[in-house]
A and B are shown apart, each in its own frame.
Chain A
Amino acid sequence: MLNLPGIGLMQGLGVVFKNMTRKRITEQYPEERLNVSRRTRAQELVWEPGRCTGCATCVKACPQGNIKIKTSVGENNKYVVDQFENDEGRCIFCGLCVESCPYEALFFGRSYERSKYKREELIADIDEMTAADKERSAYYRPDLYDELPEQTLLIYRKHKRIL
């Protein structure tokens, strides 16, 4: 390259001009969303009551002492879970409860818009943890991995331009 003054500046202009022909890399967030990782440790727990035996291993594993479980003895001398709560405001989402569950009854969810107006609303109870619209993450549950949608990265996304 010629060593003229200002050549570097002109090259800079050229790079920017080339950028004008490239596709955008940003998202229009509420309308367009990226898929999170299939193994995401997102901001909620999903509970499968059918598999749970009420053994409370998750409670013992929780470093925060965050999970609350109350059981009673039902028919055939089995535990019935009366209360199962996780305070998401104090949860650190370390995943030890999910990893420790011997019956694979506890999953991470894939939702990430979990903010609330009050702290009390953050306590997830049985109804919330078993809600039908919860998506299960494949974190520590490799069987789920293939069913989940592939993660989209900003740079690989296919674009439809919103003006």
Chain B
Amino acid sequence: MMTIPDVVTQAPLASWQLWDSALDSGWAIDNFWAHLALFAVGIIGFVLMVVMGFIWYERRLISVMQLRIGPNRAGPFGLLQPVADAIKVMLKEDIVPTVADKWVHFLAPIVVFVPVLLMFAVIPIHEGVGLIPDLNIGILFIVAVGSIETVAVFMAGYGSNNKYALVGAMRSVAQMVSYEMPMAFAVIAVVMVAGTLSMQGIVQAQSIPFALLLPMAFIFYFTCALAELQRTPFDLLEAESEIIAGYHIEYSGMKFATFYLGEYGGAIAQCAIITTLFLGGWKGPILPPVLWFMIKLFTMFGVIVWIRAAWPRVRIDQLMGFAWKYMLPLSLINLLVVAIEVIILDGDAIRWWLVPVNFAITIGLMTAWAGMFKIGGGSESA
């Protein structure tokens, strides 16, 4: 039996608490269409705003790391730089190659961006706040929808009728398909411990963040997210410092902007999923939950930018070898370890004891496995 909180007798509430009590009293949930409209518009607005924020944040952060300043002319601290970029790219001519498959070429950027928006439908930014925060197959939905992006990438490469775009797209698809598998296994480890597929349920199950309890799943999910997003160190197919673009070589103007939007939107989505699965979602002391969610989101993206500033990119053989020879077997072993732990040692009290044990297992397994073979050694002598 749910009790409706007595708002009147309580002390003045923070805005998020008012929001909370409004939801509890059935203000937004009762009316299906109002709920749908509110969150559909909200999600699109959120994604567009945070994409702009992320672009600014990445450029400023990486320039601090490279002893530069970064964009600082448009607006205070260069905050309007993404707006200026957006206006510029929208005003550019939209060029479609004469031999391109027009419809596939036209649809590819849309098919990149829509799954990103769909992913946000099941991500709860606060308990019960989201389009469908408590969808009972939430994480499965995300994995399924995330796979659509692979199709879009191939559509872009095929529709451009450009051999470089096609080769780039095929390699991108190979990369994304390879890394989807260890990613799914990392997710399964989380689901086994949480006992639910619902994103909200997973957050509620985290009495300690799963990043501590399941370090190997966390590391693998993060690595796979980098590969899915095609960011450093797995950005060899669109390496901006070496080759031109990969599959979106024939795109310009608004369509290229949509690809860019999809790329950064995907970054937000992956950061949000990592936050939800491994970092305890909205949970946190003192600050309001939505703020905690955003802090974790931006921290995760900061780590991605940090990696971009520090690490070199891998070769294509190293990329595939790392996915199939290293991460796939290790994630299966990890699954086995987690399954045993869930069956034998379940219970909140024992979870804290599992943290050091799991860290030791992770480091031991990764070290042992890395010593067993070399990825793409090549020949040193002629």
* Chain A interfacial positions (CB closer than 8 Å to B): 4-6, 9, 12-13, 15-17, 19-20, 22-26, 28, 162-163
Contacts and interface: CB of A to CB of B under 8 A. Distances in A.
A15 B371 CA distance: 26
A16 B367 contact: no
Contacts of A19: 64-67
4 closest Cβ pairs, A-B complex: A5-B370, A16-B310, A12-B310, A25-B67
Given A5-B366, A163-B77, A26 B310 contact: no
Interface string B116-137: 0000000000000000000000
Main secondary structure of the interface of B (DSSP, over half): helix
B251 to A, nearest CB: 31
Contacts of B367: 4-5
A19 B363 CA distance: 28
A15 B67 CA distance: 12
Contacts of A16: 65, 306, 309-310
Main secondary structure of the interface of A (DSSP, over half): loop
B299 interface: no
A5 B67 CA distance: 29
Contacts of A28: 69, 72
Contacts of A5: 366-367, 370-371
B103 interface: no
B326 to A, nearest CB: 9
A6 B77 CA distance: 36
23 contacts: A5-B366, A5-B367, A5-B370, A5-B371, A6-B366, A6-B370, A12-B310, A13-B306, A13-B307, A13-B310, A13-B311, A17-B65, A19-B64, A19-B65, A20-B64, A20-B65, A24-B67, A24-B68, A25-B68, A26-B68, A28-B69, A162-B69, A162-B72
Contacts of B306: 13, 16-17
A4 B64 CA distance: 29
A24 B311 CA distance: 21
A17 B307 CA distance: 10
Nearest to B68: A26
Interface string B52-68: 00000000000011111
Given A13-B306, A28-B72, A162-B72, 14 more contacts: A5-B367, A5-B370, A6-B366, A6-B370, A9-B311, A13-B307, A13-B310, A16-B65, A16-B306, A16-B310, A19-B66, A22-B67, A23-B67, A24-B67
Interface in B37-77: 64-69, 72, 77
A5 B370 CA distance: 7
Interface in B289-320: 306-307, 309-311
B363 A4 contact: yes
A26 B311 contact: no
B63 to A, nearest CB: 8
Contacts of B72: 28, 162-163
Nearest to A8: B311
Nearest to B366: A5
Contacts of A17: 65, 306
A162 B307 CA distance: 26
Contacts of B66: 19
B294 to A, nearest CB: 21
A140 B307 CA distance: 51
B103 to A, nearest CB: 43
Contacts of A25: 67-68
A13 B363 CA distance: 18
Contacts of B370: 5-6
Contacts of A26: 67-69
A12 B306 CA distance: 10
B373 to A, nearest CB: 12
A16 B68 CA distance: 13
Contact of A24 (B69, B307, B371): B69
A9 B370 CA distance: 14
B72 to A, nearest CB: 6
B365 to A, nearest CB: 11
B266 to A, nearest CB: 23
Nearest to B368: A5
B218 to A, nearest CB: 14
Contacts of A12: 310-311
Interface string B230-261: 00000000000000000000000000000000
Interface in B179-230: none
B302 to A, nearest CB: 11
A25 B68 CA distance: 6
Nearest to A16: B310
Interface string B340-382: 0000000000000000000000010011001100000000000
B108 to A, nearest CB: 34
Q: Which of B68, B306, B310, B366 has the most CB of A within 10 A?
A: B310
A4 B370 CA distance: 9
A28 to B, nearest CB: 7
Nearest to B60: A163
Q: Which of B65, B307, B370 has the most CB of A within 10 A?
A: B65
